[in-house]
């Protein structure tokens, strides 16, 4: 029952966020929409920002599925699909007074996704922790840059297509970076 209640809260919140700005959503509206009492909300979540954080973290976990995605591009297209399915909600969060919170979450999600990707795909290479951190920083920064540009432009262009092109242009650079990192002396 607890998982069902949490899921109901998340679904109600996303439904509301796809209809109106974040600043206009209250805990009262969320609990009324999903048919629970206020205490149930606070049993599961400290507040709305913590609710958003959990939703973003769950999505980050879903983005990186190495058995389904052979590349960072595959991870990103999963994330892009979620963003497009919730385009209004994403724009409401991005354009909210809590933009700093959104950027923190984006940074966290990008870091978790890229760290998981790098960890999974570098298992066969002997790479120092410093080089691994450098790879994560590089790819995380690229990812955040792409997403911020896309959101700043109102999600008007096809980010999946742009990333496909970029990945095509730079194909092999990740493997090359792995080889270079494994050859580097500390």
**22-80 residue pLDDT tens:** 999 999 999 999 999 999 999 999 999 899 888 888 877 776 665 555 666 777 777 78
Rounded CA-CA distance 160/165 in Å is 9
Which H or E run includes 22?
A: none
Alpha carbon distances (Å) from 2 to 39, 51, 76, 107, 176: 13, 15, 31, 29, 47
Q: Is 121 helix (H, G, I), strand (E, B) or coil?
A: helix
Position 183 pLDDT exceeds 90: no
Q: What is the dihedral of CA 35, 52, 93, 29, to 10 degrees?
A: 20
pLDDT of residue 70: 62
Question: Residue 159: how many CB atoms within 10 A of its CB?
Answer: 21
pTM for the model: 0.76
As a whole number, mean pLDDT of residues 122-127 equals 80
């Amino acid at each position: 029952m607890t998982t069902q209640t949490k899921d109901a809260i998340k679904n109600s919140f996303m439904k509301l966020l796809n209809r109106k700005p974040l600043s206009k959503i209250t805990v009262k509206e969320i609990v009324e929409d999903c048919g629970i009492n206020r205490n149930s909300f606070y049993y599961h979540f400290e507040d709305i920002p913590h609710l958003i954080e959990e939703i973003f973290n769950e999505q980050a976990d879903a983005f990186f599925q190495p058995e389904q995605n052979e590349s960072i591009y595959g991870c990103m297209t999963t994330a892009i699909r979620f963003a497009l399915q919730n385009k209004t909600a994403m724009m409401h969060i991005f354009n909210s007074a809590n933009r700093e919170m959104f950027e923190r979450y984006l940074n966290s999600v990008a870091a978790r996704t890229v760290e998981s990707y790098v960890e999974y795909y570098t298992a066969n290479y002997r790479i120092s922790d410093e080089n691994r951190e450098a790879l994560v920083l590089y790819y995380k920064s690229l990812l955040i840059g792409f997403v911020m540009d896309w959101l700043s432009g109102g999600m008007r262009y096809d980010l999946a297509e742009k990333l496909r092109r970029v990945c095509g242009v730079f194909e092999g650079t990740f493997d090359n970076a792995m080889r270079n990192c494994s050859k580097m002396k500390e």
